[in-house]
Amino acid sequence: MENLLLHQRVLQLSLSATLQMQARAKALKDQGISVVALSAGEPDFETPKVIVEAAKQALDKGVSRYTAVRGSDELIKAMQLKFLRDQKVSYGPLQVLSTVGAKSAIAMALESVAGPGDEVIVLAPFWVSYPEQVRLAGAKPIIVSASAEQNYIHTAAMIKAAITKNTRAIILNSPNNPTGAVFSEQVLREIMEVFVGTAVWVISDEIYEHLVFDEEKHVSPASFSPDAYARTVVISGASKGYAMTGWRIGVVGGPLAIVDAMVKLQQQRYSCIASISQAAAAFALQETPELKSEIEKMRGAYQTRRDEVMRMLKNLPGVTCIKPKGAFYAFLDFSKWMGKMHKGALIDNDDILAMRLLNEAHVAVVSGAAFGAPGCVRLSIASSLPDITEGMKRIQTWLE
């Protein structure tokens, strides 16, 4: 049987650091150890009851069959309405698509536009799956990093300098996972100007669009100009804003050519997303007043948690964090601790730090290296306030 080989595609693929850490935390919990899991970005809220009710009604009505690849008629209408309301862009019924989470949408968008010999610009710190998905498409991720001093916001000039004749796409992600940075409209407009006259697609991951704090506003780069509209595919979904991670709902809107290509891929891979999830999404995307107030409650809770993390941060010696303006993460900079001896062992890097925090302090966080930002760790504030407070206390005690 030794000649049964796996392909390099999977042999070279990294595991998802976020999902791995979540699994490690669960394994320790299963052994009876009290672990505070601040690892995966997954809302601790239940899906709002009104959405669950819409899904139950669909079940009772026997909504149990394949739908069109893009989605049911109701869902297509709801997606069109959503993009008009939130992104301020108008898409025809053939320009929208529902997907198995935003994750599969990003993968299919990349596969639609890039392959061997091509480059895709990925802005660091980045969500863990971007570079791996670019590589799975056969292309090369070109990493452009912004530092904490820059508030993790990339300038148009930095992006322009990374464009070559092989650049096929860029992934934008605001509000950002893992830093919580929100790119202002002005910065996004400057960035979009860079692409005029190029053949670069913009994959705009707007999955955290509902989660902006204080006076911040979410804007979609697709809305800026006819040029921006024609090169941008917008990817969002129900996981974060509606607390529906397990329902696996992604929504896509964009130019007909790329959406058609993604439909082709989805047709051969998944056929369509689960019909009951579609019914729930068709209801949720309409954002009735009752649901809107639930969404606002969750957003407010994340903001309170963010404030608590920033307050408690003062107790962590040598640790800094840029105040998150959106999403539900805090990206803590432990650079000053790297290479130091602590409790009889060296903290060589952030991977070691995350493992030691898990095994010694029983707090699960994700190492910054997985996000292209060594020396940091990411803490999810999608966990309950008592968990966050306890987690921060445990980190403090461990550091002391």
Q: Which long-range contacts (CB under 8 A, 24 or more apart) does 285-294 make?
A: 285/75, 285/78, 285/79, 285/81, 285/82, 285/238, 285/251, 286/78, 286/81, 287/82, 287/85, 288/50, 290/50, 291/48, 291/50, 291/51, 291/242, 294/48, 294/50
Check residue 177 for interaction with ligand PMP (CB under 6 A): yes
**Binding status of residue 133 toward ligand PMP by CB under 6 A:** no
DSSP-assigned letters across all residues of 238-292: STTTTT-GGG--EEEE--HHHHHHHHHHHHHHTSS--HHHHHHHHHHTT--HHHH
SS3 assignment, position 312 = helix
How many residues form the binding site for ligand GLU (CB under 6 A)? 10
In the complex, least distance from residue 105 CB atom to ligand GLU, rounded to whole angstroms = 13
16 touches, from ligand GLU, ligand PMP, none (C-beta below 5 to 8 Å by class) = ligand GLU
127 scored as a contact of ligand PMP (CB under 6 A): yes
Give residues 128-147 in contact with ligand GLU (rule: CB under 6 A).
128-129
Min dist. Cβ of residue 327 to ligand PMP (A): 8
Q: Counting contacts by CB under 6 A, is residue 82 touching ligand PMP?
A: no
| SS3 (DSSP) at 10 | helix
Name the binder of 19 from ligand PMP, ligand GLU, none, CB < 5-8 A by kind: ligand GLU
Among 36, 37, 40, 121, binds ligand GLU (CB under 6 A): 40
Residue 37 or 121 having the CB closest to ligand GLU: 37
Under the criterion CB under 6 A, does residue 179 sit at the interface with ligand GLU? Answer: no
The span of 63-71, 97-105, 341-349, 377-385 binding ligand PMP (CB under 6 A) equals 97-105
Which residue lies nearer to ligand GLU by CB, 72 or 177?
177
Count residues near ligand PMP (CB under 6 A). 13
Structure token pair of residue 4? 């049964």
- Nearest alpha carbon to residue 21 among 378, 365, 388: 365
Of 135, 151, 143, the closest CA to residue 9 belongs to 135
Under the binding rule (CB under 6 A), the answer on residue 367 touching ligand PMP is no
- Residue 30: exposure state from Cβ atoms within 10 A (0-12, 13-18, ≥19): exposed
Q: Which stretch binds ligand PMP (CB under 6 A): 100-108, 180-188, 277-285, 333-341?
A: 100-108
Instruction: Report in angstroms the alpha-carbon separations of 8 from 12, 19, 79, 107.
Output: 6, 22, 38, 18
CB of 250 to ligand GLU, least distance (A): 12
Q: Closest CB to ligand PMP belongs to which residue? A: 101
Residue 326 binds ligand PMP, judged by CB under 6 A: no
CB of 25 to ligand GLU, least distance (A): 12
Is the Cβ of residue 103 or residue 168 nearer to ligand PMP in the bound state? Answer: 103
> Do 167 and 119 meet the contact criterion of CB atoms below 8 Å apart?
yes
Would you count residue 43 as binding ligand GLU (CB under 6 A)?
A: no
16 binds ligand GLU (CB under 6 A): yes
* Residue 329, φ and ψ in degrees, nearest 5: -135, 155
173 makes contact with ligand PMP (CB under 6 A): yes
103 binding ligand PMP? (CB under 6 A): yes
Nearest distance in Å: CB 201, ligand GLU: 22
Kindly tell me which of 224 and 302 has the beta carbon lying closer to ligand GLU: 302
Query: How far, in Å, CA of 37 to CA of 25, rounded?
Result: 6
Give the count of beta carbons closer than 10 Å to the beta carbon of residue 169. 25
* Residue 123 vs residues 37, 64, 246, 386: alpha-carbon distances, Å: 27, 40, 27, 33
In the complex, what is the shortest distance from the CB of residue 93 to ligand PMP, in angstroms, rounded to a whole number? Answer: 22
Instruction: Check residue 173 for interaction with ligand GLU (CB under 6 A).
Output: no
**Is the CB of residue 323 less than 8 Å from the CB of residue 153?**
no
Q: Is the Cβ of residue 167 or residue 383 nearer to ligand GLU in the bound state?
A: 383
Q: Is 177 exposed, middle or buried (0-12, 13-18, 19+ CB in 10 A)?
A: buried
- Token pair 């934008």 is found at 172
Rounded Cα distance, 367 and 377, in Å? 4
C-alpha dist (Å) from residue 133 to 112, 215, 323: 12, 33, 29
Asked if 19 touches ligand GLU (CB under 6 A), the answer is yes
Binding site for ligand PMP (CB under 6 A): 41, 101-103, 127, 173, 177, 205, 207, 237, 239, 245, 250
Binding site for ligand GLU (CB under 6 A): 16, 18-19, 40-42, 127-129, 177
